[in-house]
Structure 1
Amino acid sequence: MTTAQPQTLPSRQIQFLFTVALASLLILGSARIMLDNLKNNQNPFLRLLHLTKRDYKVVRLPVNVSDDEVIEDGCNVFEGKWVWDNVSFPVYGESCPYLVKQVTCRRNGRPDSFYQNWRWQPHACQLPRLNALKLLEVLRDKRLMFVGDSIQRGMFESMVCLVQSVIPEGKKSLQRIPPRKIFTAEDFNATIEYFWAPFIIESNSDNAINHTVRKRLVRLDSIAKHGKQWEGVDILVFESYIWWMYKPQINATFGSPYDVREYNVTTAYRLAMETWANWIETSIDPNTQKVYFMSMSPTHLWDWEWKPGSHDGNCFNETHPIQDPSYWGTGSNLHIMETVRDVLSQLQIDVTFLNVTQLSDYRKDGHTSVYGERRGKLLTKEQRLNPKTFADCIHWCLPGVPDTWNEILYAHILKDYRSKRNKLSPAPL
């Protein structure tokens, strides 16, 4: 009987097993070191993952702007008519969270909503529809600021409502830092802002909250304080009219802050515009900034202007635009319009004049009337029964007329963007 002898492993197998065991220990050790470093955030790969927006720059392709998205050369978008459109308009509703009570007419009791469904149609071309995402891309890393009075604030709120619906919740915000309001689109690093300056130049009505004063006083040669907050803004949109129209004369200083005199309003307005123009020429870089000036927003205080035979009515209870293409109401001052044109024509820096006055003059139906606020409070039932005294035929309901102003502004912004991009692009070989 033979006994089985134990078998011994060849030396090569022993060497192989030893190598595997050593490699396993090295792998386990390296893994342990890596885990420890991960906990301490010292691993280079982890640091790469934790880079912030400031640590890298994303290369983005230019925004494509097609021919049908800009105003055609030679086409006057300010000449046209209002057409009924209850399919495309309104673009947004009163549920937009950034509207103030002053402009939410339906919510405040207005029985009709017709004023929301009129679309401006130029005679010779099409007005491009506002594309919110495209506008935000053009505004990426930029500031758009509206400067002026409460009419301009309405335009600001209109613009915010036109774009805010495409921005996810948590990625948009509105800050109130008087005299500014700042809407931020976080993912685009863009802001749409409003700056309270009812006369553009400095005045005793510059407090954005408490600006009701018994005697208005403007400083016709003072703008530096305001200008500091406009410096570096990429797109500036100015407007100033209705606050000048309170009385035929206005108290003002020019030269000495202590020499208060009574000026004719049209004279004072020209001096103020010249002060503004000087700031534009000394403070704006036309290579990086763009300036627009809105023409005056008309009023509809007397309905005998469009309704022959009437004596004491106004914009109250109006539901349709004026159809007479030659209509020009007394609420639009031609001397002020001429002053603006004269000053802009002498500027060495290009400022685009957005002449929205006549197209808005047709819209006697678009005002807040008795469905707005007076001194921060909604009108009472008793006040609404007295539209002759309490109807507001100056401010506009939203959605409404200011949305069209923004569509025109949008078309110009796209046109300016494409023009600048074409200048920067190398010519084809």
Structure 2
Amino acid sequence: MGKDQPSYSFTKKFLPWSFYCIIPIAIFRLYFYPLHLVPQSTTDQLPNTQHTVITFSSSSINREEKRVFETPCDFTNGSWVHDKMGPLYNGTACATIKEGQNCIAHGRPDLGYLYWRWKPNQCKLPRFDPHTFLQLLSHKHLAFVGDSVARNQLESLLCMLSTVSVPNLVYRDGEDNKFRRWHFASHNVSISVYWSPFLVKGIEKSKSDNLNKLYVDYVDERWAADLDQIDMIVLSFGHWFLHPAVYFEGDSALGCHYCPGLNHTEIGFYDVLRKALKTTLKTITERTGSNGNVKDVILTTFAPSHFEGDWDKAGACPKTKPYKEGEIFLEGMDADMRNTEVEQVEEAKENAKQFKGLRLEALDVTRLSLMRPDGHPGPYMHPNPFANGIQEHVQNDCVHWCLPGPIDTWNQIMLEVIRRWEGQSRREE
């Protein structure tokens, strides 16, 4: 017994201390990690609870999509930011570019203008997806109607779409093939261009008569006669109204713009442009309503030119970078023409509410185009203009746009307009 005395004494002292240590540890464990005494039936419902969370998340996305469609992104305000990705297509490989806009092939040395993208202030503008565009326009006919800027936008679109599908030229007519049609067999999409610089009936100036003649209350039937064959129409005009012209309304002369020596009242061109657009949109609305066809109408707003010098001298539009925010403002004639066009579209929207299936939208590109003085062909509207040094006379194009170039953004935004329309149609079904 004597030998076991120390062991007994140690055990007697150790056990109480062990007990005292275990108690606070147990309390600590229960406090921070309580036991989940949940019946088995409740545990079986956990997957359903998880499914409820997923459903809630999905409905949130649907509500967000609905909000986006109901309050469309304002693409008019933003800035040009540098973009390493560059253009969607290779200008030298696109067969549908008009020669005068093929700046790279004509030797333009600076290519920095290709690496900018438009970034709206309050939303994101996705990169153009040619597959999506063709899918949305499947089995439809899209027509660009207007002046050479309308043709410029058309050729930009053809180049972007040709990266995934080959367009076949199926119709051509008129001087300089001003009336053409392409067909994308992959999606049965037809895209046409109709030359109509005033949208209304007009007689263009000639070498013998330097005055245009416009009949503001008659639409140009060269395109309007095909309205029942067109599903979507893109209108673009403005620059031809700056030229000298005589205007007619009804059976009498309305006045003129810059016609010295003639017995007509000088009335400028703003009111005439408004009348011409009103006649155009009224005709589309009435003819669409009378035959019940679904029609989508987009008006591309006026795109400013960037002449800083004489059109026939080197350096007419010399800039090689976009304007930054605050460097230039939309004002004067550019603002007035843009505002007139937007106002007429909004008025036409109200008038079209009585006709189901007629949708109108202004593709407001005036400001974002104003900020791109670097995007024009300039002297590179002709091949290698300085191969023999700087000549006394060098013709410059500071109106149209290089391809690829800033005008590609117009079609990028147009795709978003069409996407929104498609989203609205799905909700209404």
TM-score normalised over the length of structure 1: 0.71
Partners of 2:421 and 2:209 lie apart in 1 by 40
Partners of 2:79 and 2:392 lie apart in 1 by 32
Partners of 2:347 and 2:207 lie apart in 1 by 32
Decide whether aligned partners of structure 1 residues 287 and 173 sit closer, same or farther in structure 2, where only a CA change above 3 A counts: closer
Q: CA deviation at 1:112?
A: 1.2
Alignment of 1:412-423 (within 5 A): 412-423=417-428
1:365 maps to 374
Say whether residues 1:198 and 2:203 are aligned partners. Answer: no
**Quick one: which of 123, 143, 151 aligns to 1:125?**
123
Decide whether aligned partners of structure 1 residues 368 and 386 sit closer, same or farther in structure 2, where only a CA change above 3 A counts: farther
Q: Secondary structure at the match of 2:152?
A: helix
Partners of 1:113 and 1:153 lie apart in 2 by 23
Decide whether aligned partners of structure 1 residues 205 and 381 sit closer, same or farther in structure 2, where only a CA change above 3 A counts: farther
Decide whether aligned partners of structure 1 residues 147 and 363 sit closer, same or farther in structure 2, where only a CA change above 3 A counts: same
Report the aligned-residue RMSD: 3.1
Alignment of 1:53-92 (within 5 A): 67=65, 73-92=71-90
Tell me which amino acid in the other structure corresponds to 1:82: W
Partners of 2:268 and 2:295 lie apart in 1 by 33
Gaps of 5+ in 1: 1-65, 304-311, 425-429
Partners of 1:327 and 1:284 lie apart in 2 by 40
Which structure dedicates a bigger proportion of its chain to helix? 2
Alignment of 1:120-159 (within 5 A): 120-159=118-157
Q: CA deviation at 1:251?
A: 0.7
2:285 maps to 281
Q: CA deviation at 1:213?
A: 5.8
Decide whether aligned partners of structure 1 residues 381 and 251 sit closer, same or farther in structure 2, where only a CA change above 3 A counts: farther
Partners of 2:409 and 2:218 lie apart in 1 by 33
Alignment of 1:318-329 (within 5 A): 318-325=319-326, 327-328=328-329
Alignment of 1:318-357 (within 5 A): 318-325=319-326, 327-328=328-329, 332-347=333-348, 348-349=351-352, 350-357=359-366
1:175 maps to 171
Decide whether aligned partners of structure 1 residues 355 and 316 sit closer, same or farther in structure 2, where only a CA change above 3 A counts: same
Larger Rg: 2
Decide whether aligned partners of structure 1 residues 119 and 222 sit closer, same or farther in structure 2, where only a CA change above 3 A counts: same
Contact kept in structure 2, 1:81 and 1:120, CA below 8 Å: yes
Q: How many residues align?
A: 339
> CA offsets, 1:381-422, max 9 Å, x none?
6796457x6222111100001100000001111111121122
Q: Secondary structure at the match of 1:188?
A: coil
Decide whether aligned partners of structure 1 residues 386 and 363 sit closer, same or farther in structure 2, where only a CA change above 3 A counts: farther
Decide whether aligned partners of structure 1 residues 196 and 133 sit closer, same or farther in structure 2, where only a CA change above 3 A counts: same
Decide whether aligned partners of structure 1 residues 378 and 74 sit closer, same or farther in structure 2, where only a CA change above 3 A counts: same
**Quick one: which of 244, 247, 250 aligns to 1:252?**
247
Partners of 2:316 and 2:140 lie apart in 1 by 39
Q: Secondary structure at the match of 2:201?
A: coil
Decide whether aligned partners of structure 1 residues 266 and 212 sit closer, same or farther in structure 2, where only a CA change above 3 A counts: farther
Tell me which amino acid in the other structure corresponds to 2:215: R
Partners of 1:292 and 1:212 lie apart in 2 by 36
1:222 maps to 218
Partners of 1:318 and 1:72 lie apart in 2 by 39
Q: Secondary structure at the match of 2:419?
A: helix
Alignment of 1:85-124 (within 5 A): 85-124=83-122
Decide whether aligned partners of structure 1 residues 407 and 384 sit closer, same or farther in structure 2, where only a CA change above 3 A counts: farther
1:296 maps to 302
Q: Secondary structure at the match of 2:426?
A: helix
Q: CA deviation at 1:232?
A: 3.3
Tell me which amino acid in the other structure corresponds to 2:183: T
Tell me which amino acid in the other structure corresponds to 1:251: V
Partners of 1:71 and 1:123 lie apart in 2 by 18
1:235 maps to 232
Partners of 2:386 and 2:210 lie apart in 1 by 24
Gaps of 5+ in 2: 1-63, 257-266, 353-358
Q: Secondary structure at the match of 2:399?
A: strand
Q: CA deviation at 1:173?
A: 3.4
Partners of 1:109 and 1:71 lie apart in 2 by 43
Partners of 2:126 and 2:157 lie apart in 1 by 15
